[in-house]
Structure 1
């Protein structure tokens, strides 16, 4: 269809998008973080009417919808109105927040004419809808005006949709027309798309919570649920119908609890955020609210950002915090508690648990480490028998607790019984067999009436052999080079299987190393003396030995051929004392290598020995200025010289003599250690260049320290300004002077008096506790150890 006005045809095509149009039509504030569901509706039916064909129906045509007056190609004037029906049934039970009618103009007769429309609510469109039989107009819902040409046009339908829903209507039909005074004026006629939209935002209230639980137990409305806790945690499932539409917001949950016979005491928990539906709301019962023996009702409610759900169906529970008064009784005829051994690992036994007359007991918890498994009693307060299979032998403890209807548990009963060791034994009759040699295994029973043995070699299939009249059996196995594992169990005449056992058969291919020269003790051959090792094979076809002395130091590998009997010998001369090592393996003509053998051994010391009359080893003798003579005795052959060193002194050399002696005079007491200790270390060198290990010779010298006294003996003290007399007595022979300090004062020197005694006088100038240190020294420079005294000075 086309329209003419003033001889000019005007057709307008909009390029605006629907999303932009809705934003342009109505200014809506930004939605909150969690908003309602956004949805748009398109007409289920549409129609227009034409005054020139007053009885003709135009329902659901493909033409654009005419509004107002227009001219046909012959110049005849028409008047039209358009009707659109929308299905609003899906909004029942929701909170409608907004509804916006939006339609796009496709043709405008005169863009200079101001748009003048009315939007009316009408009755439904019928197949007979026409100009003379239009839907009945009910009320005007909006005036739509504004200048513009070919744009999206909209109107607020929120109240109209709400009102229709309040009337329980499922369809809303609107009429778009030009008001009567202008309806015949062609300038105001326009056309729109036949599929306008109604953009909505709505929220559906959350559903009533379901799946209420108390401490993880599903709630019941029968009052038969019992809780053993006065502060149980609560949870319920929250749903939001909007979630299925891609919407929904955060939901919050709260709980209400009250005694069933005192509803006025209802308490509601604080509301808490639960997340996005579907989700679980959690809550905790306030302390002090629940009392033992009382039956309570529980309900839950949820809320989203706009609406609140109904309260859930009521459920009931009873608080019972009294635990069973007695531990259960445990009995078993298969595994009696009689001190004997019974059954075996893998052999099930029947155990009976009894409640000892407590009618509230509904089950039992049991287990070997802790009561973790649960079994229900046959009747409330009754017993139950369970089959339990021990997995290990010897003494076992089965722990059992009674459990009442609320989940309270009794004290544990500890039932002790012994499980017989049933695993058979395996004897390897040829443990020293070489690689490739068969080995005979003897199986012996571990339980009575054994009739067969089942064994498995590595991952091969199981094989079963009968037991002999003596209960034993034998098999022959040739182990693989990397070993073979044999798993074994037995079966008795009753068909019961024993515990499984196993053995690892590994051929030992490492060679045997023998020596009578080298040992790990002091009687090993000494450093510099060759010793012999004999190498023997432990596998067939050995043609050579590959060996390495002190292999951890990276020494090179060496090879020696095997003799006709498969053995070989190698020699080793230790260059120093201490531990040495030998690593050796064999090799066949085909290049097959054995496992290595590694041994450690020592070479005996060849360090020289030291003796001294003046300064014997591990003794305290002599003193500063007293000469000592040290005699050196070799243990190695052809010694030509010695190296020696006294503590803190340079290394010196002396030629070997018969005997060899060195002289040494300490000039002072060892002030480094304050104990007079001296270390003399000596080693020898032979004519062939062999150097021995060091011999360490420790001794101590006397301090020969002077004595120091004063005339203010304890408990008397000196006073400031009062002279104090100190008396020093030399102990070092030939002392000519004393060196002393008082407190932090400088070192003073005073001559030794007659009989080695000297007195000095000192006048303190301040109160303190003073240490006095004193040494004596000879004319030759020998210095004694430290003498000491102290004195307290007061004001």
Structure 2
């Protein structure tokens, strides 16, 4: 019993698939989902005691049977529990169990004799006002003397009590043993576990191929993905599993030809099914949906109707006096509106026409089904023109296309201007009318004010634009005939020669801060001044020389690639196009020289100072900052852009001397890296005992003679581990007595000065004699 109710095993409740008629088919339903599980809350509980006949006891354990108190007086008790079933109203109870743990057993030698009875629902129970016991629940067995889970089957009791919203049970010892203290027991709180199922909600939101159902039938056309029926199906027990949707459809005039299909309504998505291709054309069908969860089924939804229409209308007929076909003389002109009439003879259900010229597309409805429609069309292009027209019926079927072709005369005027007029000068523009009976030209420049000029009937009309400016202007124009009709619009760009000046830099790459010669030669007629700008600096305006050329010198602290711009202007202030070139300014990293430590050569030695001279090619350098390798950076003042410093390397290895120049105005040059290699001054090592040598375990003297000037001690490391520091004596040697090893003695020797300079490491080996 416990496993069935607590683990909620599947409950196989079959729902029949009803099909009638000769076309009926059905998909098999899925396996029944698991019921939901819930714990009913305890609304009240109490223990009654024969020694306290009028009391309702609501503290401590739930006591049943008899027991003796401290004075030897016998008590007999029953306990009552009332459970709240309101949350299960309207739900189908599948099963239930009541269970509790034993807190105390009077005598384990006596078998468990606890019973659970359904009682009448009364007020607070007492020993003298005990609710009448109606039905004993099966169960109450358990393992061992004191069991933590004693269970009773309450499924039928809950099913009968759910309508009242409460269930009261009495926990007691059997009538036979109720007065025997040996059978008495105590229990903790009882719990009611309920398995239930909620009927799915009635489906809503029915659609046919995405169109919502309404009071009138929907039209259905044939499509590549078929006709799709859908509905929203939900299950209040949403945490248990996805509900199923049963779709049923039938011809409106033959309800017996009913077909049902079951699909799964996945969470968050409508349930859907696709209709077969066997539906008849021109027939009205109905469909409805209900939700199922394998245990219960909802009510059927309201029906939805749809009518099939698989027959497209015939190709439309196009007629027009304004736009006769290409086989007739052309009458239409670009930009002049005209009318076309579309009709579909024999198609009484046409409700609209879809038409377009390849650039624009529109759909125009008809006043009544099957009626023709007249549209107004204004050609924007010219030459051979084609309209594509299709009829659309009330179901949404499109007919095959009708291609209607006609010829359109060009009306947009021709516009030509002088090629590459110089900026600041006037330019003549020719306007040629193409519109029949054109009387005026209207034009504007760059969207400015409109100007009107009469059309010259003898040929092109010439207009003169005043001084043209940059960027190249665009003139837009059209003509108007005597009736006030406008032609199509033409536009033309007047390509203006900006006559940009020529710029020359000498040199074009220079150290920042050094002078650069700038030469600007004007190409603009009548140019009197030039404005130039270096990088993102402020522009400078100066007059041009008599020969139209500017020659000047400038300096800049900019570093890297920078644009140099120049524009000329004439006396009227008209600017030329802007010329541009590039200047590269080097940061002026200093040069480094040393005779004591020549670049990339082995020289000097540890602790031996060397003179290093720094020279800056960049003006304004007042100091140098330098460091040996990754040592602390130091600064030295510069005199006339140069300085000499003493640097003392302390060990024989390769170094970079890093130097950069700085100025009072905050300028900083790039770094220069000067590579040096410090010569090693390896000590000489000898022993008076070698040759011939000594045997293992015998001492011998090691004599170290430094070659590094100023060495004060020698560091001897034996066999890569033991290290000994030996001072250099007055005779200029360091002496140490060492005991010969079993396999000879390997030694590494370094000498160092009092300032910490090290000679470099010499290696030696004294074999066994």
2:330 alignment partner, one of 331, 339, 357: 339
Give the equivalent residue in structure 2 for 1:79: 77
Give the equivalent residue in structure 2 for 1:247: 240
Count of equivalent residues: 491
Tell me how far 1:48 sits from its aligned partner.
1.9
Distance in 2, Cα, partners of 1:421 & 1:404 = 37
The 5 A counterparts of 1:146-295 are 146=142, 147=144, 149=146, 151-164=148-161, 169-181=163-175, 182-184=177-179, 188-193=184-189, 196-200=191-195, 202=197, 204-205=199-200, 207-208=202-203, 211-213=206-208, 215-218=209-212, 225=219, 227=221, 232-242=226-236, 245-249=238-242, 251=244, 253-257=246-250, 259-268=251-260, 271=262, 275-276=266-267, 278-286=269-277, 289-295=278-284
Contact 2:333–2:411, Cα closer than 8 Å, also in 1: no
Tell me how far 1:173 sits from its aligned partner.
0.4
DSSP-derived class of the 1:143 partner:
coil
Tell me how far 1:237 sits from its aligned partner.
1.3
The 5 A counterparts of 1:503-522 are 503=493, 507=497
Give the equivalent residue in structure 1 for 2:96: 99
2:313 counterpart of 1:324: yes
The 5 A counterparts of 1:550-589 are none
Distance in 2, Cα, partners of 1:157 & 1:366 = 73
Contact 1:255–1:298, Cα closer than 8 Å, also in 2: yes
Farther off after superposition, 440-449 or 73-82: 440-449
Contact 2:234–2:291, Cα closer than 8 Å, also in 1: no
Query: In 2 relative to 1, CA 24–446 (structure 1 residues): closer, same or farther, beyond 3 Å?
Result: same
Tell me how far 1:135 sits from its aligned partner.
4.6
Contact 1:295–1:318, Cα closer than 8 Å, also in 2: yes
DSSP-derived class of the 1:142 partner:
coil
Query: In 2 relative to 1, CA 134–317 (structure 1 residues): closer, same or farther, beyond 3 Å?
Result: same
Contact 2:415–2:429, Cα closer than 8 Å, also in 1: yes
Contact 1:234–1:283, Cα closer than 8 Å, also in 2: yes
Tell me how far 1:175 sits from its aligned partner.
1.0
Tell me how far 1:281 sits from its aligned partner.
1.2
Query: In 2 relative to 1, CA 427–132 (structure 1 residues): closer, same or farther, beyond 3 Å?
Result: farther
2:141 alignment partner, one of 141, 145, 152: 145
The 5 A counterparts of 1:525-536 are none
Contact 1:249–1:305, Cα closer than 8 Å, also in 2: no
1:433 alignment partner, one of 397, 414, 422: 422
Distance in 1, Cα, partners of 2:139 & 2:205 = 47
Distance in 2, Cα, partners of 1:67 & 1:450 = 114
2:368 counterpart of 1:376: no
Tell me how far 1:484 sits from its aligned partner.
5.5
Alignment gaps of 5+ in structure 1? 1-20, 457-461, 513-535, 544-561, 568-584, 597-795
2:349 counterpart of 1:360: yes
DSSP-derived class of the 1:81 partner:
strand
Tell me how far 1:504 sits from its aligned partner.
7.5
Give the equivalent residue in structure 2 for 1:793: none
Distance in 1, Cα, partners of 2:361 & 2:445 = 35
Distance in 2, Cα, partners of 1:120 & 1:439 = 115
Tell me how far 1:309 sits from its aligned partner.
5.2
DSSP-derived class of the 1:160 partner:
helix
Tell me how far 1:83 sits from its aligned partner.
1.8
Contact 2:443–2:475, Cα closer than 8 Å, also in 1: no
2:381 counterpart of 1:399: no
2:27 counterpart of 1:43: no
Tell me how far 1:358 sits from its aligned partner.
3.3
Alignment gaps of 5+ in structure 2? 12-29, 456-460, 503-520, 530-544, 551-562, 569-576, 583-769
Contact 1:427–1:443, Cα closer than 8 Å, also in 2: yes
Contact 1:252–1:275, Cα closer than 8 Å, also in 2: no
Distance in 2, Cα, partners of 1:304 & 1:40 = 18
Distance in 2, Cα, partners of 1:472 & 1:234 = 68
DSSP-derived class of the 2:173 partner:
coil
Tell me how far 1:177 sits from its aligned partner.
0.4
Tell me how far 1:388 sits from its aligned partner.
6.0
Contact 2:221–2:396, Cα closer than 8 Å, also in 1: yes
Tell me how far 1:200 sits from its aligned partner.
2.8
DSSP-derived class of the 2:272 partner:
strand
The 5 A counterparts of 1:648-667 are none
Distance in 1, Cα, partners of 2:289 & 2:462 = 72
Tell me how far 1:45 sits from its aligned partner.
2.0
Distance in 2, Cα, partners of 1:247 & 1:40 = 12
Tell me how far 1:211 sits from its aligned partner.
0.9
Distance in 2, Cα, partners of 1:312 & 1:390 = 53
Query: In 2 relative to 1, CA 472–593 (structure 1 residues): closer, same or farther, beyond 3 Å?
Result: closer
DSSP-derived class of the 2:135 partner:
strand
Distance in 2, Cα, partners of 1:82 & 1:477 = 109
Distance in 1, Cα, partners of 2:292 & 2:493 = 68
DSSP-derived class of the 1:282 partner:
strand
Tell me how far 1:161 sits from its aligned partner.
3.3
Farther off after superposition, 468-477 or 373-382: 468-477
DSSP-derived class of the 2:158 partner:
helix
Distance in 1, Cα, partners of 2:464 & 2:255 = 81
Tell me how far 1:398 sits from its aligned partner.
2.4
Please tell me the root mean square deviation across aligned C-alpha atoms, in Å. 5.4
Query: In 2 relative to 1, CA 357–160 (structure 1 residues): closer, same or farther, beyond 3 Å?
Result: same
Distance in 2, Cα, partners of 1:141 & 1:464 = 101
Contact 1:255–1:283, Cα closer than 8 Å, also in 2: no
Tell me how far 1:364 sits from its aligned partner.
2.3
Contact 2:119–2:132, Cα closer than 8 Å, also in 1: yes
2:114 alignment partner, one of 112, 117, 125: 117
Distance in 1, Cα, partners of 2:207 & 2:223 = 17
Distance in 2, Cα, partners of 1:74 & 1:488 = 120
Give the equivalent residue in structure 2 for 1:661: none
DSSP-derived class of the 1:241 partner:
coil
Distance in 1, Cα, partners of 2:474 & 2:147 = 92
